[in-house]
Chains A and B, each alone.
Chain A
Amino acid sequence: QQPVQSPQAVILREGEDAVINCSSSKALYSVHWYRQKHGEAPIFLMILLKGGEQKGHDKISASFNEKKQQSSLYLTASQLSYSGTYFCGTESNSGYALNFGKGTSLLVTP
Chain B
Amino acid sequence: DTGVSQDPRHKITKRGQNVTFRCDPISEHNRLYWYRQTLGQGPEFLTYFQNEAQLEKSRLLSDRFSAERPKGSFSTLEIQRTEQGDSAMYLCASSLGLAEPFFGQGTRLTVV
Residues of A within 8 A of B (CB): 2, 32, 34, 40-44, 47, 87, 89, 94-103
Contact = CB atoms under 8 A, between A and B. Distances in A.
B1 interface: no
A40 B106 CA distance: 8
Interface stretch (B36-44, B68-76, B78-86): B36-44
Interface of B: 4, 33, 35, 40-45, 48, 56, 91, 98, 100-106
Give chain B's interface secondary structure class: loop
Contacts, number: 48
A98 B43 CA distance: 9
A8 B16 CA distance: 35
Q: Give the interface SS of chain A, mostly helix, strand, loop or mixed.
A: loop
Given A41-B91, A41-B105, A41-B106, A99 B100 contact: no
B42 A100 contact: yes
Given A97-B48, A99-B45, A100-B42, A47 B100 contact: yes
B42 A103 contact: yes
A40 B105 contact: yes
